[in-house]
Structure 1
Amino acid sequence: MSTPTAAQLHAADASVTVLSNTPAVTDWSRRYFGPWWNSIEVPAGSVCAGPLVTADVDEKAYADVAAQVGACPHEEVTYAKAQLLISRDSTGTITGVSPGEGLAYRSEQLGGHVTISGRTVEPLALATARIAREMIRASLLRDGWTLLHASAVVHDDRAVLTFGDKGAGKTTTALLMARRGAQLLANDRVFIKPSGDELRVLPWPSAAAVGLGLLDALGLYDVVRDRLQAGEELHPTQHQDVTNALVADRREPLWEPGGKRERKVQLFPDQFTTWFGMELATGGTAAALLFPRIVPAAVPALVDGTRTLGEDDFMSGTTEDRYPDVFGLAYGINGGGYDLARATVAERLAALPHHQVVLGHDVTANADFLTKLAGDM
């Protein structure tokens, strides 16, 4: 048996330890969460009491859990886009098996210890990071943090939060500002909590989805393609059609059948630094809100508008459909935080400067405009 390895994740006062006899599992968590959640390697023998994910490649353990779930009353749910069979016993232990992914789960101690057994390494590493992230999320939400659907950059500890529906320009705005020296805090969502007179923000690590056309417009397409051709890998959740497009040097947006959803490049968080030279922020203080709108022929500018923070700008159970809390990690808390915490954050954010902006397709002009705007805040 391999020597156990351990990785610890820390965000504010929340922490989780990942323990495994498969080094690739803890290596994955350390890489995936990196500086955003202070992910470090620790001696396995030093692991103390606290939230813990134990994960190993173990065919027998997987088969045992699968047999147990099959023999007991269970329900079928969709979790991470895969079938999951879930059973619960009288002690509060929740057991699950995902036959398609070859994964078995056991959640004990009211979600404080989750054991994952996998048949192969990659699905196990993905599942372990997913559960560890959900445990951190649950701890932060219980501590009064809430989760916004926004991108964010930080300059001198001042965080600019960008809101909008799909296609409004959240990712575009964040990456343009990060390329001009701001620190990238979040691509799609951010934790936020009142602290005295301030609103503190924390990142939510995740694979970042960036469209082929946007990568090309930002001058980053060739970097990604060159790295891919050199043998480096993008996040495994990326659709094969996107990889094929990169190999074939196709730069136009790629759509799912029906044309309703764009298939995008899926980047590891650390690739923003190692591939693009962008610096990552580990926190900041909310300073301003941006509400962008993309108009292809427009000259970037401040515009009049009535857009302000709304209910849809908070993450919630209804928006977290891929990862329902089937393992009892959040104790029933809404996926975006307590109602009171959300209301307090909304009130505080309403008092910050709001900027309605229009951006065109001239990347340099957009970057110049956003950089000046951030400097004036």
Structure 2
Amino acid sequence: MSPVRITTADGQSVAVTSTTDSVPAWTQRYLGSWWTAEPTTELYGPTVSADLAEDELRGYADVVEQRTPDTVEYAGAELLVAQDGDLITAVQDDRSLAYRWDPDFRLLRIVGTDETTLAAAAARLARELLRAQLLEDGWAILHASAVTTTDGATILTLGNKGAGKTTTALTLARAGWRLLANDRVFARVDDGVVRVLPWPSAAAFGFGLLDALDLYETVRTRLAAGEQMHPTQHQTVTDALLDGRRTPLWKANGKGELKPQFWPDQLTSWLSMPLATEGHVVGILFPQITAGAEPRLVDRGRGAKDDDFFTAVTEDRYPDVFGLLPPLGDHTVLRERLGGLAHQGVVMNHDATATALVLKEAVARLDA
């Protein structure tokens, strides 16, 4: 397969190349639902080069071993990182992956021994290189969900972890809105308007949410017919879906639920949720899910606060080990503009029908 170039709606781009066809194909599927993904022969600008290369992997491991590497957790696995001048070399033994970032050539080299693991890493780092360019151009990353109309008018949802940002976005997407983000979103003020761009990723939704949205049987039927979900989905989740079990499954360490995972394109093809590539914010929802509470509108709202922003300091799953990200920008204008937009607080419960009705009322208030 030819190299693929990923380009955001704002014009930033990165190329991904490999001698293994599944690597650019994975990147194209993983990022192309929200950003443009096209074959290319031009490898200008930031590039990810990823190949199955056991000898090269051992060579990078030797480089790291000869130094005193830092140890960090990256994408859920231990990563050893060593620096020699501007070159940064890193190894993940548990994943049989090695990385080398050469900032002079803006080349990120990834080598490994497993095709799926290599392809996933290449897509992830392509996204990191695009994140760096977007942040350099003044964008910020908000911990938020977002849905848009066909003309780009966007409802942003802010709130603490567990407040119901994903539930809000998916409920509105089921009601005809386009899904732009269920967890993170890029935001920037241009000419007084808060523009938003998606953060492409696989999507993970718990059994309870799928059931509440009346999507559980849809997913189970497709899986039983032989269609494949995201390959990083835990086998116990696949088995539970095939067996029709709806009881939540928990990670061995007890830190979080094991959830069904979807490719981005499956949000549309399986779950009937069209995706959006950009938008402009016209209002903000502040939800709160409270079991047993009466769904209702409340006078709750605020501007963006520190916890709403992802930064190199607060990022927990993908720390900036390769030094790709620029210094933290000043987002005072963005905070002020978000604070001045129409906002509405919403109390929701676990009744999907009642939640959908109160969200419809909340959106109508924002449009008024």
TM norm structure 1: 0.91
**Residue 35 (structure 2) pairs with residue 40 (structure 1):** no
Answering whether residue 106 of structure 2 is matched by residue 112 of structure 1, we say yes
Amino acid at match of 1:9: I
Q: Distance in 2 between matches of 1:165 and 1:190?
A: 15
* Alpha-carbon distance in 2 for matches of 1:153, 1:202: 11
Q: Give the drift of 1:47.
A: 1.4
What's the counterpart of residue 338 of structure 2? 349
Give the 3-state SS of the residue equivalent to 2:33 in structure 1.
Answer: helix
Structure 2 distance, partners of 1:350, 1:180, is: 27
Compared CA separation, residues 238 and 193, structure 1 to 2 (3 A): same
Give 1:284-299 correspondences, 5 Å limit.
Answer: 284-299=279-294
Match of 1:368 in 2: 357
Aligned-residue offset at 1:223: 1.4
Match of 1:8 among 5, 9, 12: 5
Contact 2:5 2:15 (8 Å CA) reproduced: yes
Letter of the 1:6 partner, please give it. Answer: P
Q: 1:259: Cα distance to partner?
A: 5.5
* Residues 1:71 and 2:66 aligned together: yes
Quick one: distance in 1 between partners of 2:347 and 2:69? 51
Deviation of the 1:309 alpha carbon:
2.7
Say whether 1:129 aligns with 2:123. yes
Q: How far 1:267 sits from its partner (Å)?
A: 1.6
After superposition, the Cα gap between the structure-2 partners of 1:186 and 1:267, relative to the gap in structure 1 and judged at 3 Å, is: same
Given the superposition, is the C-alpha separation of residues 318 and 225 from structure 1 closer, same or farther in structure 2, using an over 3 Å criterion? farther
Task: Give the secondary structure class of the aligned counterpart of 1:106.
Answer: strand
TM-score, normalised with respect to structure 2: 0.93
Q: Distance in 2 between matches of 1:301 and 1:166?
A: 20
Counterpart of 2:278, as a letter, is: G
CA-atom RMSD, angstroms? Answer: 1.8
* In 2: Cα distance, 1:73 partner to 1:319 partner: 25
1:189 and 2:184 correspond: yes
Point out the more displaced range, 71-80 or 18-27.
71-80
Aligned counterpart, 2:273: 278
Deviation, 1:192, is 0.4
Unaligned runs of 5+ in 1: none
Correspondences of 1:233-252 after superposition (within 5 Å):
233-252=228-247
Write the distance in 1 (CA, Å) between the matches of 2:227 and 2:307: 36
Q: 1:324 & 1:365 partners in 2: Cα distance?
A: 39
List per-residue Cα deviations over 1:79-133 (Å, max 9, x = no partner): 112122222112x111111111111111002582101111110110011011000
**Among the aligned pairs, what percent are the same residue?**
48
SS at match of 1:330: coil
The 3-state SS of whatever aligns with 1:367 is helix
Residue matched to 2:153: 158
CA-CA distance at 1:232 after TM superposition: 2.4
Q: Distance in 1 between matches of 2:214 and 2:42?
A: 44
Alpha-carbon deviations, 1:283-316, whole Å to 9, x = none? 0001111011123334432112355432111112
Could you give the per-residue CA deviations for residues 335-363 of structure 1, whole angstroms, max 9, x where no partner exists? Answer: xxx1x1x2221111000011001112331
1:170-189 matches, within 5 Å, as 170-189=165-184
Task: Letter of the 2:44 partner, please give it.
Answer: A
Q: CA offsets per residue over residues 155-193 of structure 1, 9 Å max, x none?
A: 131111111222211111101111111000001010000
Unpaired runs of 5+ in structure 2?
A: none
